[in-house]
């Protein structure tokens, strides 16, 4: 589970940034680091982070995917915004 969430986040980052290549590194104490390959050498792109912090950091990097918004989604969001809270 641990490696799956982190590696999936890195895979999504590599898809969003086609000109760059990022890898995942696990430290001896179980923390995760993001590394970037530049000209055949690897450099640290982040400090050692816990799993949740690492996934949050990786998801915030690079260009973000714009979510598609349908007319139904927009109408539903409008209904939620108008609804008074009890």
- Going residue by residue through the chain, which has 86 residues, state the pLDDT in tens, using 9 for 90 and above: 467 899 999 999 999 988 889 999 999 888 999 999 888 888 888 899 999 999 999 999 888 888 888 999 989 988 887 666 66
What pLDDT does residue 45 have? 87
Q: Are 36 and 22 in contact (CB under 8 A)?
A: yes
Task: Write out the two tokens for 65.
Answer: 């995917």
Domain map (residue ranges) of the chain: 2-82
Q: Check residue 83 and give its pLDDT.
A: 61
Q: Kindly give, in sequence order, each residue whose CB lies less than 8 Å from that of residue 47, ignoring residues fewer than 6 positions away.
A: 33
- Cα 37 to the chain's mean position, in Å? 18
CA terminus-to-terminus distance, the chain:
39
State the pTM of this model. 0.72
Q: What pLDDT score does 71 carry?
A: 93
Note the pLDDT of residue 55: 92
* Predicted pLDDT of residue 2: 62
């Amino acid at each position: 589970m641990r490696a799956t969430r982190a590696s999936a986040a890195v895979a999504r980052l590599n898809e969003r940034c086609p000109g760059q290549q990022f890898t995942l590194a696990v430290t001896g104490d179980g923390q995760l680091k993001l590394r970037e390959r530049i000209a055949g050498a690897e450099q640290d792109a982040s400090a050692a982070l816990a799993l949740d912090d690492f996934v949050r950091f990786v998801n915030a990097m690079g260009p973000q995917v714009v979510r598609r918004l349908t007319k139904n989604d927009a109408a539903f969001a409008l209904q939620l915004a108008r609804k008074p809270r009890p």
